[in-house]
Amino acid sequence: MGDVLRIGSRGSRLALIQSEWVRDELVRLHPGLQVEIEVIQTKGDKLLDAPLAKIGDKGLFTKELEAAMLKGRTDMAVHSAKDMPTAVPDGLAIVAFTAREDVRDVFVSGPGGRPAGVDAIAQGAVVGTSSLRRRSQLLALRPDIRLVDIRGNVQTRLRKLEEEDLAGTILAAAGLARLQQPELAAFAFSFEQMLPAVGQGSLAIEARAGDTRVESLVLPLVHEPSSLALRAERALMHRLEGGCQVPIAAHALVSQVPDDLGEEQLRLQAFVGSLDGTDTLRGELIGPAQAPEGLGIALAEDLLGRGADRILASVRG
C-alpha cells in the first residue's frame, strides 16, 4: 500500500471535477500513490443569499480549506486560482498553478433568445451576475442593461436564468469547459470588451509551506507560462489592494515572440472601473517574462497614477 495524500475540496460539482482531475493526474504520475478527496464547505458556499461584496471576500472560498491543512486534516487544497486571495496565510504556500484553460468570460443566455454578441443583447435586458468586475465592464459597454445579483454554483445560476426569466448571465469559459458544457455559451467576450478575473482559468494547488513531499508530487502539474502570467496578475492585484469583489480585471500572456535579446516577454493588460461602468481605466505593459511581479507592480502604479485609487476608494465607500 502506497502513501495516502488527502486533498481538501469544496463540494460543488465544478470544484469536485477540478479536484478529481488533480487526483487522477497525481495517480497517473505516481503509480502506487493513494489520493483521497475530503469535501469541506466554505463560508462562501454557505452564505448564498447575500451579494459577495456585502459579506467580504478575504478567503471566502479558501479559509476553511486552509484551516484543514494547518490542522493536518488534509495535505493540500485545490482552488480555482481566481478565488485565491493575494496574501496566503502563514504556514501555507501555493505550490502549483496549472495550465490555463480558455480565460475568457462568456455570455450564457436565458430562455428569451441567444444573442450572437454583446450588441445583440436586447435593449434594457435583465442580466444576472454577482461579480462587480463583470458588472462594471458590461455596463461600460451597455449602460442600458439592468443587472441583478445571482449567487451560487454554475448549476444554481443556470437554474435561476429560467426561474427569474433573465436574459442571461456571465460565466467563465473555463468552468463550462470543465463541466463539459461549452455549448451553453452564446458568445465569448473579447479582451477588448471584458478582461477576466485575476487567475481565471487556472487551478491553484496550496499546501503547507516547506512540505517537500507534496511539492515534489505536484511539480509535474506546474505550468510555467501560466505561473508567470498569474504571478504578474496577482502582483498587480496585491498592489491595488483588490480582491474578488473589487472591479479589477487583468490578463497576462507570455509572448511567443522574444525580444532582441531572445528573452520571453510578458504582456499584461488590466482594467479598473466604477460599479456603474461610467468611470473606467485600462492599461497595458510588456516586460521580461522572468520578472512578472515587477511588471504587475509597474502597471498597478501606472493605473494608480491615472486615478485608479480614486475609483477604488469610491467603490469601497
CATH of the domain at 306: 3.30.160.40
What is d(CA 261, CA 32) in angstroms, rounded to the nearest whole number? 45
E strand or H helix at 235, and its extent?
A: helix 224-239
Q: Which long-range contacts (CB under 8 A, 24 or more apart) does 25-28 make?
A: 25/220, 25/221, 26/217, 26/218, 26/221
Asked whether residue 62 falls in the same domain as residue 11, the answer is: yes
What does the pLDDT read at residue 266?
Answer: 96
Residue 194 lies in a domain: no
Phi, psi of 308 (to 5 degrees): -60, -35
Domain containing residue 85: 4-98+202-222
Asked whether residue 123 falls in the same domain as residue 254, the answer is: no
Phi-psi region of 141 (alpha: psi -120 to 50; beta: other; left: phi over 0): alpha
Domain count, the chain: 3
Residue 253 lies in a domain: yes
The low-confidence residues of the chain, meaning pLDDT below 70, are 1-2, 44-59, 242-244, 257-259
Asked whether residue 182 falls in the same domain as residue 218, the answer is: no
What does the pLDDT read at residue 43?
Answer: 72
Asked whether residue 139 falls in the same domain as residue 170, the answer is: yes
Asked whether residue 94 falls in the same domain as residue 206, the answer is: yes
Beta bridge partners of 76: 7, 207
Residue 197 lies in a domain: no
Asked whether residue 209 falls in the same domain as residue 238, the answer is: no
Residue 251 lies in a domain: yes
Asked whether residue 301 falls in the same domain as residue 240, the answer is: yes
Asked whether residue 82 falls in the same domain as residue 211, the answer is: yes
Please, is 114 exposed, middle or buried when counting C-beta atoms within 10 Å of its C-beta (0-12, 13-18, 19+)? middle
- CB-based contact 234:198 (threshold 8 Å): yes
Residue 221: other Cβ atoms inside 10 A? 18
- Which residues have a Cβ under 8 Å from the Cβ of 156 and sit 6 or more positions away? 48, 150
Residue 193 lies in a domain: no
Please tell me which residue in 83, 105, 144, 279 is annotated as part of the active site. Answer: 83
Residue 195 lies in a domain: no
**C-alpha cell read off for 66:** 486552509
Asked whether residue 12 falls in the same domain as residue 85, the answer is: yes
Residue 172 lies in a domain: yes
83 is catalytic: yes
What is d(CA 179, CA 82) in angstroms, rounded to the nearest whole number? 17
- CB-based contact 8:77 (threshold 8 Å): yes
What does the pLDDT read at residue 196?
Answer: 98
The CATH number that applies at residue 119 is 3.40.190.10
- CB-based contact 186:106 (threshold 8 Å): yes
Assign 2 to helix, strand or coil: coil
Asked whether residue 8 falls in the same domain as residue 129, the answer is: no
Distance of CA 121 to the CA centre of its chain: 25
Residue 93 lies in a domain: yes
What does the pLDDT read at residue 263?
Answer: 83
Phi, psi of 289 (to 5 degrees): -65, -25
